[in-house]
């Protein structure tokens, strides 16, 4: 009896660990789907290699694919490192190294270098370009959906102790590490803390993307409270590349090759993984680790009543990161796939007209018009 019991327990642990890690990526994909322009979503659904049958027309089921295939021979050895990125010498919270912006406010680490070019920043650029070149490239779509999530996970952006995997902490008295905390435990906790949106919202645009998952109420809250109120004024800034990455700035670091400008005319948008990673890294630095964290000391409590956890919760940091990732993914897909989607719609005699913005925010306009 012992062997099967152990095996069953192990299986339970693997699935639940995986499932929590999966929740973040699926939430990001679902938020993105809600904000796609209808012709773009129709285009994705029209190709069963892009959205396979098992996904039932949704993006969330493909979001964890890059984690699942990491050890498959075809992908082993090269795809794993694309989930992370870091600047050499970074060791938060004591030393925060990241390329300087050149405006004199944050030059620390400006003379260093990227730990590797095979990182999540380059990967976002890589798979964005590949998808633009070949809109039917299902592999690029899956990598892109996943890596947009990873670039918003604070501990995917430092090489300290392999992104905190080697940094033990306690979570409600149980030993874990900071990487797992950010990958899953904080999200799991957030789902429990923000569970008041159990009833459907009046918006069909939002509801039709939900698949009856445990995180549906959380997604409703991120949009209904978050996008509508909490981040309303900062929202436009989420879609501009920081000036440091433009050619105009007298930056000591040349524009990163991974910042892309895509499209033309009103649809022109910039896919700026460097700006996004830089913003996430601020969170890595300010909140990624408990104050004065020392991996050699006895593991400190990072859950419940700890100052570390309260700061993350009260600043809505996990909520912001997931929402930014989802909306930026939507903007990227709308930009990259907009032209081919519009052409496909025209050909099918459907309305291929695309809303001007990089996001379909009709639900927000409707909510305001109807004073929901």
Task: Tell me the C-alpha distance between 272 and 98, whole Å.
Answer: 16
Q: What is the DSSP string of 49-66?
A: TTS-GGGTT-SGGGTTHH
For position 82 contacting ligand NAG by CB under 6 A, the verdict is: yes
- Tokens (6 digits) for 276: 């996004």
Helix H or strand E encompassing 26:
helix 2-34
Bond preceding residue 93 cis, omega within 30 of 0? yes
Helix H or strand E encompassing 336:
helix 317-347
Minimum distance, C-beta of residue 190 to ligand NAG, in the bound complex (Å):
9
For position 137 contacting ligand NAG by CB under 6 A, the verdict is: no
Task: Tell me the C-alpha distance between 274 and 267, whole Å.
Answer: 21
77 versus 243: smaller Cβ distance to ligand NAG: 77
153 versus 360: smaller Cβ distance to ligand NAG: 360
102 versus 357: smaller Cβ distance to ligand NAG: 357
For position 122 contacting ligand NAG by CB under 6 A, the verdict is: yes
Choose among 365, 364, 345: nearest CA to 354. 345
Minimum distance, C-beta of residue 161 to ligand NAG, in the bound complex (Å):
23
Backbone CA torsion sign across 220, 222, 223, 229: positive
Task: Tell me the C-alpha distance between 78 and 288, whole Å.
Answer: 26
For position 360 contacting ligand NAG by CB under 6 A, the verdict is: yes
Site map (CB under 6 A) of ligand NAG, residues 162-201, x = contact: --------------------------------x-x-----
**Residues pairing with 271 in the sheet:** 260
For position 362 contacting ligand NAG by CB under 6 A, the verdict is: yes
For position 129 contacting ligand NAG by CB under 6 A, the verdict is: no
For position 372 contacting ligand NAG by CB under 6 A, the verdict is: no
Sole binder of ligand NAG in the list 38, 85, 154, 184 (CB under 6 A): 38
For position 355 contacting ligand NAG by CB under 6 A, the verdict is: yes
Q: Which residues bind ligand NAG (CB under 6 A)?
A: 37-38, 78, 82, 118, 122-123, 126, 194, 196, 205, 225, 355, 360, 362
């Amino acid at each position: 009896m012992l062997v099967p019991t152990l095996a069953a327990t192990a299986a339970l642990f693997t699935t639940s660990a995986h499932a929590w890690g999966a929740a973040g990526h699926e939430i990001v994909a679902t938020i993105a789907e809600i904000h796609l322009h209808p012709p773009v979503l129709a285009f994705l659904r029209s190709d069963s290699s892009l959205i396979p049958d098992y996904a039932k027309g949704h993006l969330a089921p493909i979001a964890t694919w890059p984690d699942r295939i990491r050890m498959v021979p075809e992908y082993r050895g090269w795809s794993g490192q694309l989930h992370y990125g870091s600047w050499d010498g970074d060791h938060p919270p004591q030393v925060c190294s990241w390329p300087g912006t050149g405006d004199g406010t944050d030059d620390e680490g400006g003379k260093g270098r990227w730990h590797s070019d095979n990182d999540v920043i380059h990967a976002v650029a890589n798979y964005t370009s590949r998808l633009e070149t070949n809109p039917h490239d299902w592999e690029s779509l899956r990598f892109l959906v996943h890596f947009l999530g990873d670039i918003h996970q604070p501990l995917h952006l430092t090489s300290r102790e392999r992104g905190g995997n080697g940094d033990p902490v306690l979570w409600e008295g149980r030993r874990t590490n900071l990487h797992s905390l950010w990958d899953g435990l904080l999200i799991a906790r957030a789902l429990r803390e923000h569970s008041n949106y159990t009833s459907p919202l009046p918006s069909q645009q939002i509801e039709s993307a939900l698949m009856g998952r445990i995180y549906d109420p959380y997604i409703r809250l991120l949009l209904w409270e978050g996008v509508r109120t909490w981040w309303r004024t900062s929202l436009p800034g989420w879609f501009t590349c920081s000036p440091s990455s433009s050619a105009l700035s007298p930056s000591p670091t040349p524009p990163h090759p991974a910042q892309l400008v895509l499209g033309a005319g009103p649809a022109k948008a910039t896919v700026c993984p460097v700006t996004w990673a830089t913003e996430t890294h601020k969170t890595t630095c300010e909140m990624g680790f408990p104050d004065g964290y020392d991996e050699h000391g006895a593991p400190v409590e990072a859950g419940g009543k700890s100052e570390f956890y309260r700061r993350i919760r009260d600043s809505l940091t996990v909520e912001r990161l997931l929402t930014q990732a989802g909306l930026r993914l939507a903007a990227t897909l709308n930009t990259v796939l907009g032209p081919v989607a519009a052409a496909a719609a025209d050909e099918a005699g459907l309305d291929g007209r695309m809303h001007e913005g990089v996001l379909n925010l009709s639900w927000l306009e409707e909510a305001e018009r109807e004073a929901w």
